[in-house]
């Protein structure tokens, strides 16, 4: 009985849904604040201390707004795509060892890295469906761009994710984390840097945020969404960013590994994990702020001509250097 309660607590409260929800909003606040300060602006300042509650306020505001479903849209896809995207992403996050173990204990299995990556593709596909079902020219173009982009960048992303798997000798996330007494970011920095760049494209952030290019396609696949559905779509996007940063943390920065000083190791594990995720988010936001948005053809070219060959090279490099790296693992 107590096991079940513990499981429910873990899934719903900590480190599961509630924690992830508030952590996502916190990350959103950090992103907005970093971006604003880099652009000589204030950023959110009024809701809560230093505007900390602004993302929550935005979410609640959207929930209270009227929802409109276009008559021409494919209603079922239109309604469920945002919810499905969010759920799939949260589900994928449950496999990441946030406080040392994954959210649902003992779900880790051989090859869950591949499974988690597949879930991200499914979530991206949901975003595509959201746009495709809207029956709006801006949405269809935005959706087509989502598809073009994630189909292209999934390949190098998976290849680069293989580097830590190779170093750890396992496709299991838990094993990858536990073998990182020295973070893989230090052992294989080439893969780490490339992974961050590819993740930037996968998360549709500048310079790769073509699906959201508001000057061309308004809001891309989100154009027809309003009210609660938009709130969930936006939340799904924020969770996606947190997921991306978490994945980098798990694969390259040793996840929840870190010194434990006193008290519960879970507390320290979560703290290290959160701090590492925040570092990644700040780096990613820096990249976002520093560059202009590329064109879709340039994004696709950058993938096939630069990122993909480089990730193949990175994999070869990792394999050939593995002999020297293995003793360090």
Using CB under 8 A, list all residues that contact other proteins: 35, 38-41, 137-138, 140-141, 206-207, 209-210, 213-218, 289-298
The CA distance from 76 to 106, in Å, is 35
The CA distance from 176 to 246, in Å, is 13
At closest approach, how far in Å is the CB of 10 from other proteins?
39
At closest approach, how far in Å is the CB of 211 from other proteins?
11
Residue 8 vs 68, nearer CB to other proteins: 68
Residue 140 vs 180, nearer CB to other proteins: 140
The CA distance from 144 to 31, in Å, is 27
At closest approach, how far in Å is the CB of 321 from other proteins?
30
Is the peptide bond between 220 and the residue preceding it cis, with omega within 30 degrees of 0? no
Contact, 166 vs 188, CB < 8 A?
A: no
3-state secondary structure of 97: strand
Residue 108 vs 301, nearer CB to other proteins: 301
3-state secondary structure of 72: coil
At closest approach, how far in Å is the CB of 14 from other proteins?
36
- Alpha helix locations (H) across 94-136? 112-132
The CA distance from 277 to 284, in Å, is 10
At closest approach, how far in Å is the CB of 27 from other proteins?
19
Residue 101 vs 140, nearer CB to other proteins: 140
Residue 65 vs 72, nearer CB to other proteins: 72
């Amino acid at each position: 009985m107590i096991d079940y309660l513990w499981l429910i607590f873990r899934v719903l409260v900590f480190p599961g849904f509630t924690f992830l929800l508030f952590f996502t909003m916190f990350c959103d606040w950090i992103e907005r604040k970093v971006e604003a300060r880099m652009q000589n602006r204030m950023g959110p300042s009024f809701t809560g201390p230093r505007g900390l509650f602004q993302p929550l306020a935005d979410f609640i505001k959207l929930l209270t707004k009227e929802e409109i479903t276009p008559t021409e849209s494919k209603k079922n896809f239109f309604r469920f795509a945002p919810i499905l995207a969010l759920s799939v992403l949260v589900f994928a996050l449950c496999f990441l060892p946030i406080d040392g173990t994954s959210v649902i204990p003992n779900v880790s299995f051989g090859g869950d890295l591949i499974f988690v990556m597949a879930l991200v593709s499914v979530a991206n596909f949901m975003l595509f469906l959201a746009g495709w079902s809207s029956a709006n020219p801006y949405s269809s173009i935005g959706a087509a761009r989502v598809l073009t982009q994630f189909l292209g960048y999934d390949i190098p992303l998976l290849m680069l994710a293989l580097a830590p798997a190779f170093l750890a000798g396992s496709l299991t996330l838990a094993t990858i984390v536990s073998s990182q007494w020295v973070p893989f970011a230090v052992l294989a920095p080439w893969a780490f840097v490339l992974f961050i760049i590819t993740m930037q494209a996968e998360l549709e952030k500048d310079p790769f945020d073509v699906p959201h290019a508001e000057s061309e396609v308004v809001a891309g696949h989100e154009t027809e969404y309003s009210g609660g559905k938009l709130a969930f779509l936006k939340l799904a996007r924020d969770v996606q960013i947190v997921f991306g940063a978490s994945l980098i943390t798990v694969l390259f920065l040793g996840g929840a590994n870190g010194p434990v000083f006193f008290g519960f190791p879970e507390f320290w594990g979560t703290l290290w994990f959160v701090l590492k995720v925040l570092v990644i988010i700040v780096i990613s936001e820096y990249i976002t702020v520093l560059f202009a948005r590329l064109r879709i053809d340039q994004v696709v070219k950058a993938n096939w001509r630069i990122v993909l060959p480089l990730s193949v090279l990175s994999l070869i490099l990792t394999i050939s250097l593995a002999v020297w790296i293995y003793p360090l693992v």
